[in-house]
Amino acid sequence: MRSHEEDVAEAIIEAVFRSLWAFRVELILVGTFGGLGLLANHLLGTQGAWLAPAVVVALVLAVPPLRRFIGRRLRHARLRRQWRRALRSARIPSLEDRIPAVRRMKDTPAGQRFEIRVPRGSSVPELAQASEVIAAALHIRELRVRRSPDNASRAEVVVARRDPLAVGPPLPWPEIGADRACLWQPIPVGVGEDGQAVTVQLPERNLLLGGEPGAGKSVALSLLVATAA
């Protein structure tokens, strides 16, 4: 039979491993810089130990794709940690200490979007009901949870930090620079709440546009006519 001391030791070890895993991106970066410094110190001496990391930092700052990649990885790692803390603060009974894992995180004009898989004994609707509490813990504008139509244990989570239509210059029509457009393909007619393009498909479908004055009915029709032209 397990003793109390064994349970405490196991809990401490598990907490340490969880903390290390939560900061794995930062630890990899620190380890990479440290390894480069040690290698340069071995090959070039003391001055080389500082020169190699400085060159790497300058390279990251000078190459925009590399800088954006590292910044995106750090930003996503931070959101994953915030997600775990927010779910714990929401105190969803069925989750206990089993936090839905975050998968395939992507940036959107409104914030981030990622997929999750809820653990056994919990459900996506329970998570959706706590969306306001989670959003408040994340200090964001809104959190939307969309259940997967194919798998009840999976869902898409949209982290809306800002209104994509409230700031920035006017959004151009995606097809404005295209050589040709086709009515058989999805036609972009606007931007959704998460900043992604909203499209409509016309083949074998009927379309009814409605809205109050100034809502954009004429603009939507103009986009369809422009596609047909």
| Secondary structure (H, E, C), the chain | CCCHHHHHHHHHHHHHHHHHHHCHHHHHHHHHHHHHHHHHHHHHCHHHHHHHHHHHHHHHHHCHHHHHHHHHHHHHHHHHHHHHHHHHHHCCCCCCCCCCEEEEEEEECCEEEEEEECCCCCCHHHHHHCHHHHHHHHCCCEEEEEECCCCCCEEEEEEECCCCCCCCCCCCCCCCCCCCCCCCCCEEEEECCCCCEEEECCCCCCCCCCCCCCCCHHHHHHHHHHHHC
In the predicted structure, residue 115 carries a pLDDT above the cut 90: yes
In the predicted structure, residue 61 carries a pLDDT above the cut 70: yes
| Per-domain residue ranges of the chain | 167-229
pLDDT of residue 134: 92
Over the stretch 144-176, which tens digit does the pLDDT of each residue have? 999 998 999 899 999 988 877 776 666 677 777
Among 2-6, 32-36, 84-88, 182-186, the minimum mean pLDDT is found in 2-6
Q: Are 103 and 115 in contact (CB under 8 A)?
A: yes
Over the stretch 64-87, which tens digit does the pLDDT of each residue have? 888 888 888 889 999 998 998 888
In the predicted structure, residue 48 carries a pLDDT above the cut 70: no
